[in-house]
């Protein structure tokens, strides 16, 4: 069974590159460009891993993360958060809200693939 | 120190001039024995007698009183309180020695310290700006996002060997597109830093203007004369000063004055409850402003226009180093001129002396505000017609100093962190009431403090009422000329409040209000 990954990121070129490399690893990819659409998609089909950017239009990544963790159906969803800031306080906020893993831009493709596969592995 | 030096300086100057005590005493109309007591610093001296001695001995009054030296000492004491110099345990005695023996080296040390302080502030401000500036934050975010897209696409091109031609083209296009966006962000960043005034980040225009005014003794004779001439022009042109100013502005400068309702305008354009609309040559004043505000702002506008050349001359000063400093100084000079127009020097001084400096009487007589009268009282320094030397301080409830004018022997707090026992801070406990206190400093200096809160009323319900406090201070030598000393025994030390300038500079170790350790050690 392919690993199902939902990418919620508003930069189309990053989405395209991430989708390409993850598909090559056998993942099935769906994408959304803003926080509201991302939440709506999650409530319809639950992926194996969520890749979530922090700086999103309509609803930022932290708000999305908070709502996910307060939803009993999604509380255990593995979430990899992307951020361009990498500041300590963002990392701390993400950890307090229950993120599974955190990676800062600019990241390498290999780092993303490694983390996604780790998160998708049965615990 | 200043007072201690006066007698010795008179003696030194007299001896240098080759004049006997008897001859000098006769010239100024006092007995030789009294002059002897003065020279031995056993009698205070001020006012007309001091002026007369300075004239007879042909010496500058400031150098005789040690005013400029006292300022240097005060500035060096402030410098010594900087954490950088903690370990040197500088005390007042050593500072006075340095000033007394090597004034040029003392001034050099102060100049170097100020340069260091300005650079430190610039670095801190730049650092804060980098961390908090929204443009920079956004630019950094964009750059990292674009670099991520470029890196990701590059890695794919580099590592995937079986990439099809259209896929290769696609990722090359991504790199090209994101590189282009990255270039634009980099360019806008470069422009951002080019436009930024690095000096203004660390500059203190308010301090520069304060120093400018203090350096001139808060007395500008050309502005006084010009205001006097202007007043002559206004006579006969209206029943009230307000009417005369409005008529003058209209007749000479085609400026009309309109009173507007606060709810009908954008208050963000109104400073001091008024604004000048250049396009229509209209001066708008909020119709709920007080008479004192209306008069003052009309006078200010008239002064800005009518005395523009003289004001420009006054602020052509090398100590005003930035455009902001010069703009602030220009505003300050316009306010000074307005005060000189509304409170003509000779009449005001006479009224002040007759009323024994009762601010309330003067305020009502001149339809002025408390602060306007206080400010005018600090400008009475005409050489042949001096008023009592007053210091002025204005602060907000947070303790932030928003206006300051010192007087010899009294160090005023800069920015904030003043002594909480000063009347200007305790005045907030009794809003609207004049608070008078006798204060004694560790060096024995004694001053009468007169403080009151002032309220800036909101223009509409949505605005907040704003409170601040204004204080005048004068040496107790002059205090008995004021109503505020009535009932106070100025000779009894016990009734004075023991105060300092700030906790860091105060040696009163047993003060219950002490908030931080003193930096300056006592003289032992």
Highest mean pLDDT among B81-85, B110-114, B148-152, B321-325: B148-152
Contact assignment for B151 to A106 by CB distance below 8 Å? yes
User: Crossing angle of helices A61-69/A35-44, nearest 10°?
Assistant: 30
Domain final residue pick, B313, B342, B371: B342
Asked if the model's pLDDT at residue B200 lies above 80, the reply is: no
Burial class (CB in 10 A: 0-12, 13-18, 19+), A8: buried
Contact assignment for A84 to B141 by CB distance below 8 Å? yes
Beta bridge partners of B257: B283
By Cβ distance, the residue of B140, B141, B149 closest to A13 is: B149
Q: Picking from B72-76, B188-192, B362-366, which range would have the lowest pLDDT averaged per residue?
A: B188-192
The answer to whether position B126 is within a domain reads no
Contacts of B141 in chain A (CB under 8 A): 55, 84-85
Q: What is the DSSP string of B127-152?
A: HHHHHH-HHHHHHHHHHHHHHHHHHH
| Distance between A2 CA and the closest CA of chain B, angstroms | 21
Domain that holds residue A70: 4-120
Banded model confidence at residue B202, pLDDT cuts 50, 70, 90: very low
By Cβ distance, the residue of A18, A21, A106 closest to B144 is: A106
Task: For residues B336 and B369, state if they share a domain.
Answer: no
CB B145 within 8 A of CB A84: yes
Asked if the model's pLDDT at residue B337 lies above 60, the reply is: yes
- Whether B140 contacts chain A with CB within 8 A: yes
Which strands sit side by side in the sheet containing B256-260, from one edge to the other? Answer: B256-260, B282-286, B274-277
Contacts of B159 in chain A (CB under 8 A): 109
CATH of the domain at B395: 3.30.450
- Whether B147 contacts chain A with CB within 8 A: yes
Query: What percentage of chain B has pLDDT greater than the value 90?
Result: 33
Inter-chain CB pairs, A–B, below 8 Å: 55
Of A92 and B159, the one with more pLDDT? B159
* SS3 (DSSP) at A80: strand
Dist CA B145 CA B215 (whole Å): 54
Among the listed residues B381, B415, B401, the one whose alpha carbon sits nearest the alpha carbon of residue B469: B401
pLDDT of residue A109: 92
Q: Picking from B65-69, B86-90, B119-123, B398-402, which range would have the lowest pLDDT averaged per residue?
A: B65-69
State which H helix or E strand residue A52 sits in. Answer: strand A49-53
- Whether A88 contacts chain B with CB within 8 A: no
Task: For residues B197 and B231, state if they share a domain.
Answer: no
pLDDT of residue A38: 94
- Label residue B487 left, alpha or beta by phi (over 0 means left) and psi (-120 to 50 means alpha): left
Domain that holds residue B225: 207-342
**pLDDT tens-digit series, residues B76-127:** 888 888 888 878 888 888 888 888 777 788 889 988 888 888 788 777 766 7
The answer to whether position B109 is within a domain reads no
pLDDT of residue B156: 94
Dist CA A43 CA B244 (whole Å): 75
Beta bridge partners of A4: A28
pLDDT of residue B153: 94
To test the contact with chain B by mutation, choose from A109, A111, A112 the residue with the greatest count of B C-beta atoms within 10 A, namely A109
Dist CA B435 CA B6 (whole Å): 32
Beta bridge partners of B453: B469
CATH of the domain at A79: 3.40.50.2300
pLDDT of residue B3: 52
State which H helix or E strand residue A50 sits in. Answer: strand A49-53
Dist CA B384 CA B428 (whole Å): 37
CB B330 within 8 A of CB B243: no
The answer to whether position B438 is within a domain reads yes
Asked if the model's pLDDT at residue B446 lies above 70, the reply is: yes
- Whether A13 contacts chain B with CB within 8 A: yes
**pLDDT tens-digit series, residues B203-231:** 467 778 888 888 888 999 999 999 999 98
When pLDDT is averaged across residues B430-452 and rounded to a whole number, the result is 87
SS (H, E, C) B447-500: EEEEEEEEEECCCCCCCCCEEEEEEEEEEHHHHCCCHHHCCCCCCCHHHCEECC
Of A44 and B195, the one with more pLDDT? A44
Domain final residue pick, B103, B125, B156: B103
Domain final residue pick, B103, B124, B145: B103
Q: Chain B residue closest to A112 (CA)? A: B152
Banded model confidence at residue B201, pLDDT cuts 50, 70, 90: very low
- Whether A11 contacts chain B with CB within 8 A: yes
Q: What tokens does B481 get?
A: 């000329």
Highest mean pLDDT among B35-39, B193-197, B204-208: B35-39
Could you say which DSSP state residue A108 is in? P
Contacts of A21 in chain B (CB under 8 A): 152, 156
Task: For residues B248 and B197, state if they share a domain.
Answer: no
pLDDT of residue B90: 86
Of B9 and B175, the one with more pLDDT? B175
pLDDT of residue B264: 81
Number of independent structural domains in chain B: 4
Dist CA B438 CA B446 (whole Å): 7
Dist CA B263 CA B1 (whole Å): 55
When pLDDT is averaged across residues B158-187 and rounded to a whole number, the result is 91
CATH of the domain at B16: 1.10.260.40
Asked if the model's pLDDT at residue B175 lies above 80, the reply is: yes
Task: For residues B319 and B398, state if they share a domain.
Answer: no
Who's near A39: CB < 8 A, 6+ residues apart? A59, A64, A67, A68
The answer to whether position B120 is within a domain reads no
Contacts of B150 in chain A (CB under 8 A): 106
Asked if the model's pLDDT at residue B498 lies above 90, the reply is: no
Asked if the model's pLDDT at residue B394 lies above 80, the reply is: yes
To test the contact with chain B by mutation, choose from A9, A17, A112 the residue with the greatest count of B C-beta atoms within 10 A, namely A17
Could you say which DSSP state residue B191 is in? H
Contact assignment for B148 to A108 by CB distance below 8 Å? no
Task: For residues B267 and B181, state if they share a domain.
Answer: no
**pLDDT tens-digit series, residues A39-96:** 999 999 999 999 999 888 888 888 899 899 989 989 899 999 997 755 666 777 788 8
Contact assignment for B178 to A20 by CB distance below 8 Å? no
Banded model confidence at residue B524, pLDDT cuts 50, 70, 90: very low
Task: For residues B35 and B160, state if they share a domain.
Answer: no
Q: What tokens does A101 get?
A: 């893993």
Q: What tokens does B524 get?
A: 């032992």
* Dihedral sign for Cα atoms in the order B417, B421, B426, B427: negative
Task: For residues B164 and B69, state if they share a domain.
Answer: no
Task: For residues B89 and B215, state if they share a domain.
Answer: no
The answer to whether position B357 is within a domain reads no
Residue B427 has, within 13 A of its CA and on its CB side, a CA count of: 30
Task: For residues B167 and B229, state if they share a domain.
Answer: no
When pLDDT is averaged across residues B292-310 and rounded to a whole number, the result is 91
CB B8 within 8 A of CB B15: no
When pLDDT is averaged across residues B469-487 and rounded to a whole number, the result is 90
Banded model confidence at residue B2, pLDDT cuts 50, 70, 90: very low
Asked if the model's pLDDT at residue B334 lies above 90, the reply is: yes
Of B208 and B160, the one with more pLDDT? B160
- Label residue A98 left, alpha or beta by phi (over 0 means left) and psi (-120 to 50 means alpha): left
ipTM: 0.88
The answer to whether position B514 is within a domain reads no
The answer to whether position B220 is within a domain reads yes
Among the listed residues B402, B296, B392, B394, the one whose alpha carbon sits nearest the alpha carbon of residue B339: B296
pLDDT of residue B362: 96
Task: For residues B391 and B495, state if they share a domain.
Answer: yes
When pLDDT is averaged across residues B228-240 and rounded to a whole number, the result is 85
Q: Picking from B34-38, B122-126, B275-279, which range would have the lowest pLDDT averaged per residue?
A: B122-126
Burial class (CB in 10 A: 0-12, 13-18, 19+), B135: exposed
Q: Picking from A29-33, A50-54, B101-105, B298-302, which range would have the lowest pLDDT averaged per residue?
A: B101-105
Query: CA B470, B474, B480 angle in degrees (round to 5)?
Result: 120
Among the listed residues B443, B439, B407, B446, the one whose alpha carbon sits nearest the alpha carbon of residue B520: B443
Burial class (CB in 10 A: 0-12, 13-18, 19+), B36: middle
pLDDT of residue B171: 94
Banded model confidence at residue B519, pLDDT cuts 50, 70, 90: low
Q: Chain B residue closest to A54 (CA)? A: B141
Contacts of A106 in chain B (CB under 8 A): 144, 147-148, 150-151
pLDDT of residue B459: 61
Task: For residues B221 and B184, state if they share a domain.
Answer: no
When pLDDT is averaged across residues B366-380 and rounded to a whole number, the result is 94
| Distance between A8 CA and the closest CA of chain B, angstroms | 14
Number of independent structural domains in chain A: 1
Who's near A110: CB < 8 A, 6+ residues apart? B155
Residue-averaged pLDDT of chain B: 84
The answer to whether position B122 is within a domain reads no
Banded model confidence at residue B197, pLDDT cuts 50, 70, 90: very low
When pLDDT is averaged across residues B282-294 and rounded to a whole number, the result is 88
Banded model confidence at residue A5, pLDDT cuts 50, 70, 90: very high
When pLDDT is averaged across residues B194-198 and rounded to a whole number, the result is 55
By Cβ distance, the residue of A24, A85, A109 closest to B152 is: A109
């Amino acid at each position: 069974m392919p690993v199902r990954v939902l990418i919620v990121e508003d930069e189309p070129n990053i989405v395209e590159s991430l989708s390409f490399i993850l598909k090559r690893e056998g993942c099935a990819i769906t994408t959304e460009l803003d926080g509201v659409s991302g939440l709506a998609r999650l409530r319809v089909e639950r992926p194996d891993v969520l890749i979530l950017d922090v700086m999103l239009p309509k609803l930022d990544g932290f708000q999305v993360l908070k709502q996910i963790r307060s939803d009993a159906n999604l509380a255990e969803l593995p979430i990899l958060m992307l951020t361009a800031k990498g500041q300590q306080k963002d990392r701390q906020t993400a950890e307090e809200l229950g993120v599974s893993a955190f990676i800062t831009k600019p990241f390498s493709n290999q780092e993303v693939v490694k983390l996604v596969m780790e998160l998708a592995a049965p615990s | 120190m200043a007072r201690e030096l006066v007698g010795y300086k008179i003696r030194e100057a007299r001896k240098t001039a080759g004049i006997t005590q008897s001859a000098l005493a006769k010239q100024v109309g006092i007995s030789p024995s009294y002059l002897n007591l003065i020279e031995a610093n056993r009698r205070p001296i001020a006012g007309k007698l001091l002026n007369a001695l300075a004239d007879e001995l042909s010496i500058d009054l400031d150098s005789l009183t040690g005013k400029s030296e006292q300022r240097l000492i005060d500035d060096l004491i402030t410098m010594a309180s900087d954490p950088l110099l903690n370990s040197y345990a500088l005390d007042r005695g050593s500072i006075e020695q340095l000033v007394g023996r090597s004034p040029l080296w003392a001034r050099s040390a102060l100049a170097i310290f100020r340069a260091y302080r300005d650079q430190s502030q610039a670095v801190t401000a730049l650092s804060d700006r980098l961390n908090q500036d929204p443009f920079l934050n956004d630019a950094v975010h964009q750059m990292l996002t674009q670099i991520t897209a470029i890196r990701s696409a590059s890695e794919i091109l580099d590592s995937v060997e079986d990439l099809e031609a259209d896929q290769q083209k696609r990722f090359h296009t991504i790199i090209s597109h994101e590189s282009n966006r990255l270039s634009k962000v980099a360019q806008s960043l470069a422009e951002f830093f080019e436009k930024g005034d690095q000096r203004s980040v660390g500059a203190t225009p308010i301090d520069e203007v304060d120093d400018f005014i203090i350096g001139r003794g808060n007395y500008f004779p050309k502005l006084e004369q010009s205001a006097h001439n202007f007043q002559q022009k206004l006579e006969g042109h209206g029943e009230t000063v307000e009417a005369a100013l409005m008529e003058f502005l209209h007749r000479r400068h085609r400026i009309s004055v309109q009173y507007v309702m606060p709810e009908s305008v954008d208050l963000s354009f109104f400073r001091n409850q008024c604004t000048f609309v250049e396009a229509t040559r209209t001066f708008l004043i909020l119709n709920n402003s007080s008479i004192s505000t209306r008069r003052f702002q009309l006078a200010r506008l008239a002064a800005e226009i009518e005395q523009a050349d003289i004001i420009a001359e006054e602020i052509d000063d090398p100590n005003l180093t930035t455009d902001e400093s010069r703009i602030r100084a220009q505003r300050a000079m316009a306010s000074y001129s307005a005060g000189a127009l509304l409170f003509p020097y000779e009449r005001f001084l006479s009224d002040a002396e007759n009323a024994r400096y009762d601010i309330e009487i003067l305020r009502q007589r001149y339809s002025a505000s408390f602060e306007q009268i206080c400010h005018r009282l600090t400008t009475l320094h005409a050489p042949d017609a001096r008023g009592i030397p007053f210091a002025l301080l204005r602060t907000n409830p947070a303790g932030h100093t928003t206006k300051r004018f010192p007087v010899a022997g009294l160090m005023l707090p800069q920015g904030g962190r003043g002594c909480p026992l000063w009347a200007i801070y305790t005045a907030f406990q009794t809003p609207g009431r004049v608070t008078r206190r006798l204060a004694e400093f560790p060096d024995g200096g004694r001053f009468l403090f007169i403080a009151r809160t002032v309220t800036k009323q909101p223009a509409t319900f949505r605005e907040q009422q704003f409170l601040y406090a204004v204080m005048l201070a004068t040496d107790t030598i002059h205090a008995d000329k004021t109503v505020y000393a009535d009932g106070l025994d100025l000779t009894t030390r016990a009734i004075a409040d023991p105060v300092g300038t700030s906790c860091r500079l105060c040696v009163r170790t047993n003060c219950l209000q002490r908030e931080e350790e003193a930096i300056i050690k006592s003289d032992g």
